[in-house]
Chain A
Amino acid sequence: MKSTGYSGKWLLLALPLLYLTLFYFYPLIKICLISFFPNGTWEPEKLHSLFSTSIYLKIIWFTTWQALLSTLLTLIFALPGAYIFARYNFFGKNLLQAVMTIPFVLPTVVTAAAFRALLGNNGLLNSWLVTAFDLAAPPIRIDQTFYFFVLAHIFYNYTLVLRIVGNFWAGLDPHLKSAATMLGASPTKTFFRITLPLLLPAIGSATLLIFIFCFTSFGVILILGGPGNSTIEVEIYRQAVQLFNLPMAATLSLIQICINFFLMWLHARLGKNSTIGFFGDSAQETATRTKTTLQKTIVAINLLFMILLLLSPLLALVIRSFSGKNGPTFAYYLALFTTQTRSVFSVPPISAVINSVGFGIGAMIISVGLGLLASTYLASKKGRHTTMWDAIIMLPLATSAVTLGFGYIITLNTPPLNLRDSLALVPIAHSLVAFPFVVRCILPSLRQIPDNLREAALLLGAPPLKIWQKVDIPIIKKAVATGGVFAFSISMGEFGASTFVTRPHTATIPVAIFRFLGQPGDLNYGQAMAMSTILMLVTSTAFWLIGRLDTPRPEKDIV
């Protein structure tokens, strides 16, 4: 156990790399090979249109700039929120943080329904405006526009900034700021000179994740953006499934991977150099109660914004699940829990909840385990090629779900890895997306641990494992919890490749929602909304519980 040199460190990375090789690179490479050489020969004619038209160039351009804009707007709206969550305590903070994470797990069709109930042509706001101002037509028309899906991107990703940046911010030593203020720096100067540079690693992590999510956006663009707007991901699906042009789909997937890999590499490079060892004792609660009127106003404005953007669409869904033809009703819940249709695929809601939570916990355990290993390696100064490894680990996030899902079909099909129709593949596919996420959450905190802290412990004779347990873990605890929360949500919301993973009929909550939305009738729609409400309830309860475990309660004011 004494080898802490290169060879020892390598072991940390070995397991995550083995995992990626088996469940990512192997399926991806094989599907690309089969796509490009279907009969053993290279058939370039199917790629002809890639160069003969400018359509694909336009799609790539659109994908990039909508992702940039969505990321930028999310940051602008969410950073103040992260600030108040990091620095102030207020009533219902933990619950609110739990609720803010719900959008992350909602299926796109449901999100679309929520936003339409509010902002659609016959939505709440429009009907209200039409009656209030006696208008002839609804004044707000954002359905199937650019604004609609950018709004949805902010809705989905807000919580990323709130949690990743907010938790990091809460861990920053507040005495630094006090010191700067005492030395005569203005609050603005303190923010730009001290706080912002220290926050950059966390902001960088959040920015990268949001950008990749928006870049690979599929459902949001397809449903809310309208048919005129197509991202690379939508085009990959269209080429692979509708046109059966696999070479084109594979080429577009590779283009998508390359663009993102470049960004991830850049991010990893910048992140590596931004290790500044100023970190507070995170076990100490640094948030304070709001005192001045200014503080109260800032918190109030932020909370109001969160309620308008995030809470009201969620509330609209809940209300919808209780509204029948003639006023309030429990009919949909009653139908959900009592009248089971005779179908082989219908499951009681409670089983769907159990399945979803089970997969979620599985995915969380795998990805937090792998994430801890990988980030420990990446954070260490002794690791080699960390920039490249950092970027490689992120790849699954940026890879087309269609392509990877199809890759599973043709690879994991022989013993001992005959997994393609096994239940185990579900948490594996989920954790493939969740694991890079966990790394992004943990790495900024891990890098902030000053080396001299570990060296001191080493000098005092503590073994490496003990150092890890006593020095690293307390500081990164919050970040690990954040990573865990997101891993769980990614699994609950069934992101990415899992949509294309075939499985025996094990209904999860999203599967049940889609089953109801597959056939006409208000009972079906109502039950879909009721099931969505249950999804929200289950996830927010889980987040709330994690939040309670995470925050020690002593109220401490910092002067």
Chain B
Amino acid sequence: MKSTRAKAGIASLLILLSFSTAAWAEKILTVMTHDSFNVSKSVIETFEKNNGATVRFMKSGDAGAALVQAILSKKNPLADVFFGVDNTFLSRALQADIFVPYNSPLLAKIPVRLQLDKTNRLLPVDYGDVCLNYDKKWFANHKISPPADLADLIKPEYMGLTVVENPATSSPGMAFLLATIGRFGEDGYIEYWKQLRKNKVIIAGGWEDAYFGHFTAASKGDRPVVVSYASSPPAVVHYSEKPLTKAPTAALVSSNSAFRQIEFAGILKGTKERKLAEKFIDFMLDIQFQEDIPLQMFVFPANTEARLPEIFIKFATVADKPAMVSPKSIETNRDKWIEAWTTAVLR
């Protein structure tokens, strides 16, 4: 009985030792992120080779859930770097005080309008415009002109054509609600949504459900208009079963009808790999990583020197004038806006 216990003790010691030697041999950088994060293997290998380190990714649910987990674990952080705070959650992240400032030299290559955190605790990595997508073929077949503006959706001829995501449970849904607030103002957006409701809009729980469950261009659904990203059309071409020369869907990015989601990365307070984490932030903002972003995550790189892949140049659009709502205002009013929206649209 005693000898087995001793053996077990020795065995567990050996296991512990082997783990710690592994840790000595190579530094490990842990990156906490949301489920939609993606990057090419070769890109990460470059970083690992240049720094003699291993990068470990920890996917922690959707963007909101991942951030809450990072905040909850702030006394004993799970990771060194966090990627995926967007501007709708920016204020919450900064208030929780979980990031350390880092003035990356690469910020010089990133437009100032994307740098929403002046303390540089959160640095912009990519952006994407949440907007309406429509099924080109459906509108051609039905001889209706596709929507050209948010206001079109409440016209009678667009009755029963739209599906959006619930802002209370989905991040593109929240972004679209913010687009309508930016566009129609705090006094006008509820009236717009009431009209949308009259026009039989479908509210889906999340993006997957809206796009693959209801959108005519992607499923057996019956809605030719869906809330998605301005970069969804190139993704449709890229991931087509048969090669396409034209995008079957189009994004509506007319002035004040899209909301720009900017995604940030930051170094978590309490990291033991501060230097390596800084290097990783630089790496994320540098050309190689930035040029990998479009075809992995289907959003736009923040670094202006990054070249876009051809499929993006051909099929993607960028909103010239996205609807604006400040992160601070979002955090203070999120509860109120969602509540008002829920009452107007669902109850």
Question: Which residues of A are at the interface with B, using a C-beta cutoff of 8 A?
Answer: 31, 34, 109, 112-113, 116-117, 120-123, 144, 222-223, 226-228, 234, 237-238, 240-245, 324-326, 329, 331-332, 342-345, 402, 405-406, 409-410, 413-414, 420-421, 499-500, 502-505, 514-515, 517-526, 528
Contacts and interface: CB of A to CB of B under 8 A. Distances in A.
Contacts of B218: 520, 522, 525
Given A117-B220, A222-B169, A406-B69, A523 B57 contact: no
B220 A410 contact: no
Contact of B169 (A238, A525, A528): A238
Interface stretch (B98-106, B178-186, B237-245, B317-325): B237-245
Interface in B118-169: 166, 168-169
Nearest to B92: A244
Given A226-B203, A234-B169, A518 B36 contact: yes
Contact of A324 (B38, B235, B242): B242
Interface in B166-218: 166, 168-169, 174, 202-206, 208-209, 211-213, 218
7 contacts: A120-B221, A120-B222, A241-B65, A331-B241, A406-B72, A421-B30, A520-B228
B114 interface: no
The range of chain B's interface size is 35 or more
B221 A413 contact: no
B240 A242 contact: no
A504 B56 contact: yes
B39 interface: yes
Contacts of B35: 514-515, 518
A223 B205 contact: yes
Contact of B338 (A121, A240, A243, A523): A243
Contacts of B238: 521
Nearest to B57: A505
Given A112-B213, A409-B73, A518-B36, 7 more contacts: A109-B213, A324-B241, A343-B39, A344-B57, A420-B78, A520-B211, A520-B236
B2 interface: no
Contact of A421 (B78, B221, B236, B239): B78
A523 B73 contact: no
B208 A517 contact: yes
Interface string B63-95: 011001100110010100000000000001000
A212 to B, nearest CB: 22
B58 interface: yes
B38 A517 contact: no
B42 interface: yes
B78 A525 contact: no
B206 A223 contact: yes
A532 to B, nearest CB: 12
Contact of A343 (B41, B64, B68, B236): B41
B44 interface: yes
Contacts of B174: 242
B78 A502 contact: yes
B53 to A, nearest CB: 15
Contacts of A523: 239-241
Contacts of B309: none
Given A343-B40, A344-B44, A523-B241, A144 B212 contact: no
A299 B307 CA distance: 65
Interface of B: 30, 32, 35-36, 38-42, 44, 56-62, 64-65, 68-69, 72-73, 76, 78, 92, 166, 168-169, 174, 202-206, 208-209, 211-213, 218-222, 228, 232, 235-242, 249, 296, 298, 334-335, 338, 345-347
B169 A345 contact: no
Nearest to B228: A520
Contacts of A505: 57-59
A343 B169 contact: no
B213 A240 contact: no
A86 B69 CA distance: 47
A519 B232 CA distance: 8
B222 A227 contact: no
A524 to B, nearest CB: 5
Contact of B40 (A112, A223, A344, A414): A344
A369 to B, nearest CB: 19
Which 8 A-B pairs rank lowest in CB-CB distance, beginning with the nearest? Answer: A521-B239, A222-B205, A241-B64, A523-B239, A227-B203, A502-B60, A342-B40, A122-B220
B119 to A, nearest CB: 21
A144 B242 CA distance: 32
A112 B209 contact: yes
A112 B92 CA distance: 33
Contacts of B208: 109, 514, 517-518
Contact of A241 (B62, B204, B241, B338): B62
B78 A109 contact: no
Contacts of A515: 35
Contacts of A226: 203
Contacts of A121: 221-222
A121 B214 CA distance: 9
A494 B211 CA distance: 23
A122 B236 CA distance: 21
A420 B60 CA distance: 11
Contact of B204 (A31, A120, A223): A223
B82 to A, nearest CB: 12
B213 A522 contact: no
Nearest to B96: A244
A228 B236 contact: no
A109 B228 CA distance: 18
A146 B41 CA distance: 44
Q: Among the interface residues A31, A228, A329, A421, which one has the most CB atoms of the partner chain B within 10 A? A: A421
Contacts of A324: 241-242
Contacts of A414: 76
Contact of B334 (A243, A331, A345): A243
A520 B204 contact: no
Given A122-B221, A521-B236, A504 B58 contact: yes
A196 to B, nearest CB: 40
Contact of A503 (B59, B62, B73, B168): B59
Q: Among the interface residues B211, B213, B222, B335, which one has the most CB atoms of the partner chain A within 10 A? A: B213
B240 A522 contact: yes
Contacts of B38: 343-345
A109 B209 CA distance: 7
Contacts of B41: 342-344
B213 A242 contact: no
Contact of B241 (A228, A245, A325): A325
A243 B338 CA distance: 9
